Every structure is written in C-alpha cells, then in structure tokens.
Structure 1
Amino acid sequence: MQQDNSKIRIIQIIDSLEAGGAERMAVNYANALAEQIEFSGLVVSRKEGSLINQIDEGVSYLFLNRKSVLDFKALYMLRNYVLLNRVTVVHAHSTSFFLAFLLKLVYPSIKIIWHDHYGDSEFLNKRPVSALKIILPFFNGIISVNQKLKIWAEQKMNFKNTIYLPNFPAEEMNVTEYTVLEGVTGKRIVSLANLRIQKDHFLLLKVAKKLKVSHPDWTFHLVGKDFQDDYSKQIKSLIIEHHLEKNVFLYGTQQDIKNILYQSTIAILTSQSEGLPIALLEYGWYKKAVVVTKVGEILSLIQNGKNGFVVPAQEEQLFYQAIVQLIENDRLRTEFGIALHKTVIDSNSQEVVLKHYLNWLQNSYK
C-alpha cells in the first residue's frame, strides 16, 4: 500500500549554507520534499552562504543568526517557527544535532532525527562520543551517509532505529555560468573537493608531477573551499616547489558546477576518507569518466573497470596509471561516463532515496 505523505511537515536544520556536502544535502532534501509533503522548511542556524540561491521557492526558510551554543533567543525563535508551522519532524544535519536536542527539551513532543554526514568514517575510532551518548537517546532516528556510520550508530551508540540513505544529486538553480577553466580544452582533470586534509590533495599533486612529465598538456583543476589554513598553505607551497603553476589551478568555492564539469574531461577524488561524496554523484550526473579512491561508500557506486576506476587510498602509482588509461582511451572515457550516469539514475536518484526516506519516517512514527 502506498504511504500517504500529504500530512507530513518537515524542516531541515543546518549550521550554514556554505558549499559543503551536508549543506547541499540539507538544501536538496528541503527542495525535493517541497513537491511531496504538506510543508517543507529549511532552518539555517549560524551562517548563510552561497547555497541560499539554490533554495526552491516552495521551501519555507528561516535564518536564526545563532550567536552561541546556548543562544536562547535563537532557540525560542526556532520553537515558535516549529509551532507556527505545525512541524511534525525536525531533520537535523551534521553538527546541528545539538540545536535539535535543545529544541526537544523545550518542545518535548517534537520528533527529531539526525543525519550523520561524518566525513572521517575511515577513522571512527577517533570520533568523540561523550556528548553524543548523552544526546542521542532523545532522538527518534538516525540517517547515515554510509554503512560504516550505520553500524557505528547501532553498535557504538546502541541506537537501533537507523537507516543508510545515500546522498543524491540535484539540478542547479539560479546559477550564472561564469567560471572559465585554465588549460587546453579536452585535457582538463577536475577535482571537486574542499581543501580539507581527508581529501588528500597531496596525492593529487604527486600524480600531477608524474603527469607533467608524461602528458604535459593535461592540467588539474581544484574546485572547493579554501580555508586559508596550514593545509591550504602546504598545497600552495608544493605547487610552487614542484613548478606546477601551469599544471595545477585552484578556484576556491564555485557555484556553476555543471559549467565546470562540462569544461572537464576526467573527474577525480583522491580522498583518504569519505561518506558518499556528492561530488562523485555530480560526476555521474554529468557523465564524467572518474578515478577515485577506495574509501567510504564509493564502492557502492563505482565498479572498478566498468563505470570508473577505483584505487586504494594514497596509491600514487596506481592512481597515475588509471588516469593515463583514461587519457589515452577516448572510447573508454565515454563508456565510463555513460555507465556511471546510469548507476546514479538507477540507485541514487532523488526519487529512489526520497521513497526510502518517507517510508522509513512513516514506519518510525506509527
């Protein structure tokens, strides 16, 4: 029997609207749900950002401008918003779980769920858990972005009502195509990844050094937030040290991802740790041939040699060899792109994920 979703009223909570994976998914869920349920809202607690332009007009939006962990003005603004809009479920993304917990204390009847986007899922043994053990008993469910996080929630946190839901891509809205990539058309390799240590741009630079010798016309294009920290400084220093200024280009945060991918020939991820990266879904959405590392939930999407190449993390030589195979085989690039697109549509489309999500919610709160 088909579930009746018409009376569900859900808000997404996220700390900011900067261009990160959790932030994109909060917006994607809010937009997608606006077409399927009675009320879909998006609440941003601390900081607005570039993703504000991606919010659908059918989504109710609230910015709390929360100044501190215990900002009671922001908390009661949220409580009033939830009451006014008769919200039935609060879907808290990433670190916004604490705000959802505080809301539960002042409005005990609300149902709250946590969407765990933890990026270092390869290193869960190092994850702080003290606060979570206190807070999670107040939650009604947990969504995990990969199977490792689901198992961690069940076993380490002893939380039973968990579900793994893959991320899903969405079409860009209200984006001006302004980014012009450097390099030669047809010979560009793109990496969509914020400059964070788990993304391992050092591996990318090692591969770039090799490719500069064997295929000097091919260039790397790094798109993602630059936090201006020590990691970022090291990357820039290595580019200069190894004379890669004409081979590796940094663009920072950009919104016109479709435009960037259309200018690119190969797409890569060099991560040491991942959930299911939205960048990889976007690569598939736009039919790019990919080389990625064997981390997180990537193997649920990429079948090595069939719709992309997967190599172990930090394996410089294998990563280089995989890129060279794609550089030297136009037909293989096309076949990989088409095959990955089909995989994303079949398994990670908005329709497929939302069906599982809404069924899980309905079954959780009967």
Structure 2
Amino acid sequence: MIISKVETNTTVGPVLTNGKRTVVLHIIKSLGRGGAEMLLPETLAKHNQSQYEFHYIYFLPWKDQVVGDIERENGIVTCIPAKNNIQIFGKTGAIVQYIKTHKVQIIHCHMPWAGVIGRIAGRLAKVPVVYTEHNKWERYHKATYFFNKYSFSSQAKVLAVSGEVANSIQKHYHKNTPAIQVLRNGINIDKFSRDIQMEPLVRSLYNIPETAIVIGITCVFRKQKRLTTWLEVAKQLHNVFTDVHFIIVGDGVLKEEVYAKAKALDMHNYLHFAGLQAEVRPYLQAMDIFMMTSEFEGLPVALLEAMSMRCMPACTAAGGIGELIQDGENGVLVPIEEPEQLINKLSEYILYPEKIKAAAQHARQTVASNFSIQTMVAALENTYEEVVAG
C-alpha cells in the first residue's frame, strides 16, 4: 500500500514497516521538479529495496510533481501541509509521531528548513539525522542561515553535493562535528542518453531546421538562474548567428518577468518556451548546447542530465559547475561576474559545429566516469550503514 494523500491532521496512515529492512525517512520542503527533488526517485530506483524501505515527507501540497515518480519506485510519500517555514515548525509533533509509528531508523533531510525540522524531530525521537547540503551558505537568507547553523550540530553526517559547497560549510561552521563528506550528485547515464529515440520530436514541433544550432536550458525560474541575463546573451548571439534557435524548458515564480523580457527583446521568431515538462529528455535531445548564466549553484542535476545527453555545456562558474566543466575541453566556462563572455566564446563554437560535437562527447564521458547514479547510491548506502552502526 502507498501513502500519497495530503494529511489534514497528525494521524498517520497504515504501518508498512518490514522489520528486516532499514527504514529511511527523507524530509524535504517540496516535491516539485527541482534538482534535489528529482534525485529522489532516481536514487530510489537504484537502491537495494530488499535492504532499505524509503519514506518521504514534504510540506508544500502544491509542489507535488515528483510524488508519482517516487510512488512508482515503491516509495511511501506523505504530505504534512504547511504554507510557509513558520508553519513547518508547527509540524514537529506530527513528524515525531510518524517516525515512531513507522519505526524510522534514519532521517535524511534535504536543504535548510527541512534540515532544521528534521534535526529537531530526530532529537525528540532519538533517531540519527543525515543532511544533504545543496547550496553555498553565503546565498541563504539571514533567518535560514541562522537556524541552519544553530541546529547544525544535531546530526550524524553531512553530505555536500560539491567541494565548493563543503568549503562554504567549513568557512561558516567551525566545529569538527558532524563529519562533512563530499558526495556529488549522480544521474542515470543509461536513461539520459541521446541514442534513445523519444517523442515528441522537438525540432519538428517548433519548426527548427535539423541543421540549426539549438541552445537551451531546463530549470526552475528562480532568481539565481539569471534568466533575463540568459536572454540577453541569447539575443546577442542571434544578432550574429541568425539561424540559431533557443529553447527554455521550465516554469516558476519569475515566469512573467522572463516572458516580458523575451517580448521586450523581440525574440519570438527563434526563442521557444516549452513550459514545465515531466519528461525533459526529448528537449535535451534537440539541444546542441546547454547554457547556464547562474549566479550560484550547488551541483546542478539538470546540467548533469544535459551533459549525459551530449549537450555541450556553456556556463558561468557557479558553485560546483567548475568541478564539472574544463573550459575548452568538455565545454565553456566563464566567470560568474562576466556572463557576457559566453557570447564571444560560443561564437567560436557556432562557427565550427564539429567543435560542439567533440566537446559534447567529452561532456558525456565526464558524467559517465565521475557522476553516475550507481556510484552515488552506493555511497549513500554506505553512509546509512555507518550511521545505523553508530
């Protein structure tokens, strides 16, 4: 039986726990289509479910796009509704009850507010907490930063998605415990392969010639992505290379701002907004270059997916992106403060498309060698075993 309904009170559903398996509870603020959220069903599909049973609690009912993906992989999902971070604090009792009812042995939290509430619940229920940090601390709101730091010692293990993220934690948190381990995000390289033919045929959908260079991105429309800057770079490239097309896949709170910017730049003939897509692979298959102008990142799952699909990355060196891209070898990397450098650097590749293909192949090899989902899951299970053993 799968629990996927929105809970309207503190009553928990049927107990499904198998005493022979280690019960892991993931706590995350939402289950929308962000990078951290999308990793949950991907890792679940590779976990040893004869050894582990996985539960998931989230709080924002309107961000539930990944729930079905988790359930299809036998995850047990429960929403404990909360409208904001303050209300999340009020759900501590319900979480503790859930932990005790389902005999949870490990709590695994993702991102600060879920981390804070998970640490409190873990302490009350006497269950160890593992925390994955997805972003650099410098970018957090003051309240987020304070509560995250104040409660940080109340966990058994911290996993940082990149060396940059680990360095940021160590810069701001000067204690030796809990232990911090770099565990880079991974993806399913067999699933994210350009060699698989998929529908829809995106170039046909948007009347893009097969010979045209396509530059794109898949993302949530957040401030950190600097999509208005992305559009400005795209506009300048198109001014020189009029046959280049651009695709943006995603949605978010800044949708109106992004659409208005595109309209002001008069890009409708060559810019295609695909909206939020449950399946992004056909869109990645249509792209030659995956461009990001982010101000900050952890280690973007969307970028890993694109590289695995043999899209050449062209990005600002935000967060862990610099650990993925070697400029001039498997992609293009420019300083965070100078995203306009992408214009000149990409011009060299657009003039010689064979260079794009060569860099894209190297990008695929980078992900296959260092960022596979199997490697990530094995490291996660080792962490769980260590934590349970104490």
Which TM-score bucket, shorter chain as reference?
Answer: 0.7 to 0.9
Alignment-derived partner of residue 212 in structure 1: 238
CA distance in 1, matches of 2:361, 2:342: 21
Cα drift, residue 213 of structure 1:
2.0
Cα drift, residue 91 of structure 1:
0.4
Q: Choose which of 12, 20, 38 in structure 2 pairs with 1:24.
A: 38
Q: Choose which of 93, 98, 113 in structure 2 pairs with 1:81.
A: 98
Alignment-derived partner of residue 132 in structure 2: 115
Alignment-derived partner of residue 342 in structure 2: 319
| Structure 1 residue 184 corresponds to structure 2 residue 208 | yes
Alignment-derived partner of residue 282 in structure 2: 259
Q: Choose which of 258, 264, 281 in structure 2 pairs with 1:241.
A: 264
Q: Choose which of 329, 338, 354 in structure 1 pairs with 2:377.
A: 354
The answer on whether the counterparts of 1:192 and 1:269 sit within 8 Å (CA) in structure 2 is no
CA distance in 1, matches of 2:285, 2:335: 27
Cα drift, residue 338 of structure 1:
1.8
CA distance in 2, matches of 1:322, 1:183: 27
The answer on whether the counterparts of 1:12 and 1:42 sit within 8 Å (CA) in structure 2 is yes
Per-residue Cα deviation, 1:59-111 (whole angstroms, up to 9, x for no partner): 2222223456456985444334323433211101112113213312431x201
**Structure 2 vs 1, CA of residues 268 and 36 (structure 1 numbering), >3 Å: closer, same or farther?**
farther
Instruction: Normalising by structure 2, report the TM-score.
Output: 0.81
Alignment-derived partner of residue 287 in structure 1: 310
Alignment-derived partner of residue 3 in structure 1: none
Cα drift, residue 115 of structure 1:
1.3
CA distance in 2, matches of 1:72, 1:308: 43
One-letter identity of the residue aligned with 1:206: E
Cα drift, residue 302 of structure 1:
1.2
One-letter identity of the residue aligned with 2:22: I
Q: Any stretches of 5+ residues in structure 2 without a counterpart?
A: 1-19, 193-197
Which secondary structure does the structure 2 equivalent of 1:351 belong to? helix
Q: Any stretches of 5+ residues in structure 1 without a counterpart?
A: 1-5
The answer on whether the counterparts of 1:122 and 1:274 sit within 8 Å (CA) in structure 2 is no
Instruction: Normalising by structure 1, report the TM-score.
Output: 0.86
Structure 1 range deviating more: 355-364 or 12-21: 355-364
Alignment-derived partner of residue 101 in structure 1: 119
Q: Percent identity?
A: 20
Q: CA RMSD in A?
A: 2.8
Q: Choose which of 21, 24, 29 in structure 2 pairs with 1:10.
A: 24
One-letter identity of the residue aligned with 1:235: V
The answer on whether the counterparts of 1:200 and 1:271 sit within 8 Å (CA) in structure 2 is yes
**Structure 2 vs 1, CA of residues 34 and 85 (structure 1 numbering), >3 Å: closer, same or farther?**
farther
Which secondary structure does the structure 2 equivalent of 1:325 belong to? helix
Cα drift, residue 112 of structure 1:
0.9
One-letter identity of the residue aligned with 1:117: H
Q: Choose which of 218, 224, 248 in structure 1 pairs with 2:250.
A: 224
Cα drift, residue 235 of structure 1:
2.8
Q: Summarize the alignment of residues 83-162 of structure 1 with structure 2, pairs less than 5 Å apart.
A: 83-94=100-111, 95-107=113-125, 109-118=126-135, 123=139, 128-159=144-175, 160=177, 161-162=179-180
Cα drift, residue 206 of structure 1:
2.0
Matched residue count: 353
Alignment-derived partner of residue 50 in structure 1: 65
CA distance in 2, matches of 1:52, 1:179: 27
Which secondary structure does the structure 1 equivalent of 2:232 belong to? helix
The answer on whether the counterparts of 1:92 and 1:100 sit within 8 Å (CA) in structure 2 is yes
**Structure 2 vs 1, CA of residues 64 and 234 (structure 1 numbering), >3 Å: closer, same or farther?**
closer
Structure 1 range deviating more: 69-78 or 261-270: 69-78
CA distance in 2, matches of 1:243, 1:205: 11
The answer on whether the counterparts of 1:266 and 1:290 sit within 8 Å (CA) in structure 2 is yes
